[in-house]
Amino acid sequence: MPYRLTRLLPAILLLFTVSGLQAESLPVPKAPSTGAKSFILQDFDSDRIIAEQDADKPVDPASITKLMTAYAVFKELRSGKITLNDMVTISEKAWRTPGSRMFVEVGKQVSVEDLLQGMIIQSGNDATVALAEYVAGGEDSFAALMNRHAETLGLKGSHFINATGLPDPEHHMTARDIAHLAAMIIREFPEYYKWYSQKQFTYNGITQQNRNKLLWRDESVDGMKTGYTETAGYCLVTSAKKDDMRLISVVLGTENAKARADASQALLNYGFRFYETHKLYEAGKQLANARVWKGESDTVSLGLVSPLYATVPRGQYKALAASMTVNNRIIAPVSKDQPLGSVQVQLGDAVIAGQDLVALQGIGEGSIWQRIVDEALLYFE
């Protein structure tokens, strides 16, 4: 059976420096009303959901779809299959695609970088189709690629028919999926995320502004994407960072552009005002030692693969407690990053964060004599 170590967090958190702890907890009111069909407010680092409404309801995402289009293109760039300097010949289909436009011309060649900015900043459907055709040969094939990425990312409420978000009965996403996808773009592709904060882009002598009005209203906002169709209503995904806390809000199906901006702003203000996020443990730092049997070493250091964060109501950080559970029969060989236990963080009776404890180094098998001795000792355990 595993064994458990439980301590108050402030004692364990000697692993890093903590300053500015709040002594008084603020009462947390109900999340603000948004007038949206669905919404979610999530902390980027801890993944804690701060507020939500119908977040798992599949809805028409309109141009929010282009977050997945961008993610798929970014993956191709990362793999080296395409480059930002590649020149894309604009097809008649791309040129004819209805809706918002970058104003590319049939037969002209446009760089992947310009098309990405035309899609992200100007929300150009023509640029989006051009990218889809270049990456996958056609928009249908590209939609299949989008669905494969959705499956890999665990987006259970999303299904894509096209790259643009033009209405289709089978094309949908959920607020929860969108928030997760937005976080993955920020986490995996910081070099491209900068485009989501760009306020305008000029192509072919035509300057268009980013439709995310919060980029002008709130200096903490640095992305991400708007969307609108008659069936979807007005939608907005927003990412904002204050000090060391980043929040992602998703607002879907409001009545107008002002309403989506106001609702997003209200959610962000609520999250920053009443919650705080702390890094509790660094990745790769030793949190515990565990006994190893039949190994070249009789102990292994345990830690985390990624940093562990917790989001709590302001002033409640001191009330956190952590417990570590470690397997009591660990037999060599042990591979690096092999799960050998877990750490859980609680606020009162609620578990609010957790992660596997893993081996920070590999442990090979010991000598024949060591294995014989440990086999005998295990008999009496």
Catalytic residue among 63, 239, 249, 301: 63
Burial zone of 82 (CB within 10 Å; 0-12 exposed, 13-18 middle, 19+ buried) = middle
Q: What is the DSSP code string of 163-224?
A: SS----TT-BB-HHHHHHHHHHHHHH-HHHHGGGG--EEEETTEEEE-S-THHHH-TTEEEE
Catalytic residue among 37, 38, 46, 66: 66
Catalytic residue among 38, 46, 100, 123: 123
**Is 66 among the catalytic positions?**
yes
Q: Please give the distance of CA 228 from its chain centroid, rounded to a whole number.
A: 23
C-alpha–C-alpha distance, residues 38 and 54, integer Å: 5
C-alpha–C-alpha distance, residues 162 and 167, integer Å: 9
**Is 63 among the catalytic positions?**
yes
Structure tokens at 41: 């407010």
**Is 279 among the catalytic positions?**
no
Structure tokens at 234: 């007005």
The answer to whether 301 and 324 have CB atoms below 8 angstroms apart is no
Mind telling me the catalytic residues? 63, 66, 123
